[in-house]
Amino acid sequence: MEYLIGIQGQDFVLVAADNIAANSIIQMKQDQDKMFKLSDKILLLCVGEAGDTVQFAEYIQKNIQLYKMRNGYELSPKAAANFTRKNLADYLRSRTPYHVNLLLAGFDETDGPGLYYMDHLSALAKAPFAAHGYGAYLTLSILDRYYRPDLTRDEAVDLLKKCIEELNKRFILNLPSFSVRLIDKEGIHDLEKLMPVGAK
C-alpha cells in the first residue's frame, strides 16, 4: 500500500515517499512523513508494519547520532546502511523481527551519492534506482527504460513524475501526494510535494 522510490544521479540522490498513513481501509493521515533524517546528508525512508517502522527508524537515527557524539565524526552512508542491515539481521531470527522495508540515501564526501535498498529479510544492495511497495511493480520498468547515470536534477524529477503518473493511472489505491527530497553535497533539500491530478 505504501510506496518508496529513489533515483541516483551523478552528484545527487532524489527520493520520494507517499504520505498516507493507513489503518485497514481507512486513511488516518494524509501528510505523514516517512523519511527520517539520520544525519545532515543521510535520509532513511521506511515503510512496513505499524509501529515497527517508527521504532526501528528512530532507533537507527538515535544510534547514528550517538556514534557522532562518541567519535567526533559521522558514519558514511555506506557504513550507516551496513549498520542498519546488521540490526535488521540480528533481529530477523529473534522473537521480534522488524518487518520494515527501507531505502537509505546519502551523499559522501569521497564516494559521492549513494542509494541503498534494504528489505525485511535484511538484504542490502547499492542500486542506481530502487522502489518499495506494490507501486514498485508498476514503476521499475519505467526506471529501467529511462534511467541514465548522467541524469540532471530536472531530468530525475521528470522521471520521478513519470513514475508517479503511472501509479496514479494504474494503481488501484489512491495516493494523492508524495514528499520529495534531494540530497547533494550541500545537504538535504525539500522539494515541492508531488500531487498527481486526475487520470489521463
Partner 1 sequence: LNPGKIEFLHGTTTLAFKFQHGVIVAVDSRATAGSYIASQTVKKVIEINPYLLGTMAGGAADCSFWERLLARQCRVYELRNKERISVAAASKLLANMVYQYKGMGLSMGTMVCGWDKTGPGLYYVDSEGNRVCGDLFAVGSGSMYAYGIVDSGLKQKDLTVEEACDLGRRAIYQATYRDAYSGGQVNLYHVHSEGWTRVSQSDVLMLHQQYQAEKA
Taking the C-alpha atoms of 11, 182, 164 and 122 in order, what is their torsion angle to the nearest 10 degrees?
A: 80
Residues paired with 6 in a beta bridge: 15, 130
Q: Could you say whether residue 94 binds partner 1 (CB under 8 A)? A: no
Q: Are 169 and 132 in contact (CB under 8 A)?
A: no
SS3 139: helix
Taking the C-alpha atoms of 19, 191, 105 and 142 in order, what is their torsion angle to the nearest 10 degrees?
A: 80
Candidate segments 22-30, 66-74, 111-119, 154-162, binder of partner 1 by CB under 8 A? 22-30
Nearer to partner 1, 19 or 76 (CB): 19
HSE, side-chain direction, 13 A CA sphere, residue 179:
19
Q: Could you say whether residue 177 binds partner 1 (CB under 8 A)? A: no
Nearer to partner 1, 26 or 197 (CB): 26
- The angle subtended at Cα 153 by Cα 82 and Cα 42, nearest 5°, is 25
Instruction: Please select the residue that binds partner 1; options are 5, 7, 9, 25, rule is CB under 8 A.
Output: 25
Q: Are 22 and 11 in contact (CB under 8 A)?
A: no
For residue 104, give every residue at least 6 positions away whose Cβ sits within 8 Å of its Cβ, in sequence order, or none. 38, 42, 43, 44, 45, 77, 80, 81, 84, 115, 116, 118
Q: Could you say whether residue 173 binds partner 1 (CB under 8 A)? A: no
Q: What string marks each residue from 53 to 72 as x (binds partner 1 by CB under 8 A) or -?
A: -xx-----------------
Shortest gap between Cβ of 1 and partner 1 (angstroms)?
A: 8
Instruction: Please select the residue that binds partner 1; options are 10, 49, 82, 112, rule is CB under 8 A.
Output: 49
Nearer to partner 1, 6 or 48 (CB): 48
Instruction: Please select the residue that binds partner 1; options are 52, 131, 156, 184, rule is CB under 8 A.
Output: 52
Shortest gap between Cβ of 186 and partner 1 (angstroms)?
A: 30
Q: How many residues bind partner 1 (CB under 8 A)?
A: 16
What are the residues binding partner 1 (CB under 8 A)? 21, 23-26, 28-29, 32, 49-52, 54-55, 96, 99
